[in-house]
Amino acid sequence: MAKQSAGLAALQKRWFLVLLVMLSVSTAIAFILRAAFDSSCDRHFDVVEKRFHSPSPIRATPSPLSFMKSKLVLLVSHELSLSGGPLLLMELAFLLRGVGAEVCWITNQKPSTTEEVIYSLEHKMLDRGVQVFSAKGQEAIDTALKADLVVLNTAVAGKWLDAVLKENVPRVLPKVLWWIHEMRGHYFKMEYVKHLPLVAGAMIDSHITTEYWKNRTQERLRIKMPKAYIVHLGNSKELMEVAEDSVAKRVLREHVRESLGVRNEDILFAIINSVSRGKGQDLFLRSFYESLQLIQEKKLQVPAIHAVIVGSDMTAQTKFESELRNFVILKKIHNRVHFVNKTLTVAPYLAAIDVLVQNSQARGECFGRITIEAMAFQLPVLGTAAGGTTEIVVNGSTGLLHPAGKEGVTPLAKNIVKLATHVARRLTMGKRGYERVKEMFLERHMSHRIAAVLKEVLQKAKNH
Ligand SMILES: *[C@@H]1O[C@H](CO)[C@@H](O)[C@H](O)[C@H]1NC(C)=O
Ligand SMILES: *[C@@H]1O[C@H](CO)[C@@H](O)[C@H](O)[C@H]1NC(C)=O
Ligand SMILES: *[C@@H]1O[C@H](CO)[C@@H](O)[C@H](O)[C@H]1NC(C)=O
């Protein structure tokens, strides 16, 4: 008994620390949480986690990236902010620093975030030995010419080539790796991507996005894609640590449920994405309402179901936000639907909910990082059969897919009822999702995938 309580005390101390990290936004920024809310396809990704960490001195296996030691790498970011694109590039910067590469960072666009965030991010990079300098000066040009590898992040970063390198562009292109996370029409502009055919390669987050880029560049712009490498993303070690810590999870779960007024036995369905039509919160609420009706009509014996929409921003998306709230009032489901502001910390919500809904519309997500984050927390996913979601969620095994658009409303409602009524099925799906993450969506897997790409690109540049 004594031993057990000592263990408990240690655990309590640990989850207290976890809580501190998870629940304070300022701490979040200090730790550099992956912020970003909206998903992949618009330069912003999904959700958040404590993402960056010092390389562990006791790591047993050498990094797959260790061949990058002493290589000079220039990273060109379209912006510096807490959104998905830049933070992913920063993750790469730290992975490369971890193996002793020389890493330089430039930001091409004027920031959209506050100076405080920029300052914090730049310092985080300087602390890790990443050199940060101006995108426009001679230093940027010299570094690009000297570098072993130049990584352009997102399609928009293509503007930097002509604007800064000018007549040097052809010398740099053979060592450019273009990392693309977008899937919207307005990115297919010659102004951004005209040099795409001549770079060493394109690295893209999902098969479906790659296919889309191949189609669109050919049909719209009549240019050819370079060799494309598909690199699915992975969960950070920190996220996995929280996801695998049952005590931390329980504390976070209790805390969040209490704040929402949801009981432990109630079933909580959540969308965690920035609130916008493209993410489908409106259609989700319709499905949720339908599922409540189904439960009532069929007199099903199920615990109370609740919906939570994490990612509201009343200041920005007023019209769509009001539409959602009006719907909830009109249908008298305000005691079952909860809105949570945009937040930097998603782990508490992932710990608190029972099912993640990924309802991104049209072409869906490029990848949708929140999906693998939720699976790490052993949550089944109800997702649209679109975009990267179809490469992550195994229909019928780790979740259930429904069509995008209005025709998906009733199928999603039925899937909500299914997971509410079949507890064992829901838990099994969550477990299978977790196993899938352990098999293919960890940071380690992502590092291996990136390493294979970098090796080939370095070789190409050398042979050029
Ligand atoms: C790409 O084009 C092919 C042939 O036109 C089509 O079958 C496929 O669905 C398209 N893929 C995407 C992602 O647009
Ligand atoms: C959410 O954001 C709105 C508007 O920005 C603000 O008025 C409200 O207090 C916030 N709610 C919480 C719980 O922080
Ligand atoms: C998903 O699987 C269910 C059966 O489990 C099936 O009815 C449905 O059509 C499938 N959806 C997609 C998009 O494959």
Write the CATH number for 135.
3.40.50.2000
Residue 313 belongs to a domain: yes
Clarify whether residues 167 and 293 are in a common domain.
Answer: no
Clarify whether residues 376 and 409 are in a common domain.
Answer: yes
Which residues pair with residue 176 across a beta bridge? 150
pLDDT of residue 161: 95
Clarify whether residues 281 and 312 are in a common domain.
Answer: yes
Clarify whether residues 422 and 459 are in a common domain.
Answer: no
Residue 432 belongs to a domain: yes
Q: Which residues line ligand 1 (CB under 6 A)?
A: 208, 211-212, 215
Atom of ligand 3 nearest to the CA of 395: 1
Ligand nearest to the CA of 363: 1
Atom of ligand 2 nearest to the CA of 314: 4
Residue 123 belongs to a domain: yes
Clarify whether residues 253 and 355 are in a common domain.
Answer: yes
Residue 403 belongs to a domain: yes
Q: Please give the tally of structural domains in the chain.
A: 2
Which H or E run includes 50?
Answer: strand 49-50
- Best residue for ligand 2 mutational test, from 260, 314, 322 (most atoms within 8 Å of Cβ): 314
Clarify whether residues 218 and 291 are in a common domain.
Answer: no
Domain that holds residue 186: 52-234+444-463
pLDDT of residue 387: 95
Task: List the pLDDT tens digit at each of the 464 positions of the chain.
Answer: 444 445 555 555 555 555 554 544 333 333 333 333 333 333 333 333 334 444 444 556 789 999 999 999 999 998 887 778 888 999 999 999 999 999 999 998 876 667 888 888 899 999 999 999 889 999 999 999 999 999 999 999 999 999 999 999 999 999 999 999 988 777 778 889 999 999 999 999 999 999 999 999 998 889 999 999 999 999 999 899 999 999 999 999 999 999 999 999 999 999 999 898 999 999 999 999 999 999 999 999 999 999 999 998 777 667 999 999 999 999 999 999 999 988 768 999 999 999 999 999 999 999 999 999 999 999 999 999 999 999 999 999 999 999 999 999 999 999 999 999 999 999 999 999 999 999 999 999 999 999 999 999 999 988 87
Q: Is 385 in the pocket of ligand 3 (CB under 6 A)?
A: yes
Clarify whether residues 204 and 277 are in a common domain.
Answer: no
Residue 400 belongs to a domain: yes
Clarify whether residues 230 and 243 are in a common domain.
Answer: no
Q: Is 425 in the pocket of ligand 3 (CB under 6 A)?
A: no
Q: Which residues line ligand 2 (CB under 6 A)?
A: 314-315, 341
Clarify whether residues 99 and 175 are in a common domain.
Answer: yes
443 Cα to the center of ligand 2, angstroms: 33
Give 405's DSSP letter.
S
pTM of the entire predicted model: 0.86
Give 69's DSSP letter.
T
Clarify whether residues 285 and 194 are in a common domain.
Answer: no
Query: CA-to-CA distance for 254 and 259, rounded, in angstroms?
Result: 9
- Two tokens, residue 135: 């995108």
212 Cα to the center of ligand 1, angstroms: 7
Clarify whether residues 272 and 332 are in a common domain.
Answer: yes
Ligand nearest to the CA of 260: 2
Clarify whether residues 410 and 458 are in a common domain.
Answer: no
- In this structure, how many other beta carbons lie within 10 angstroms of the beta carbon of residue 462? 10
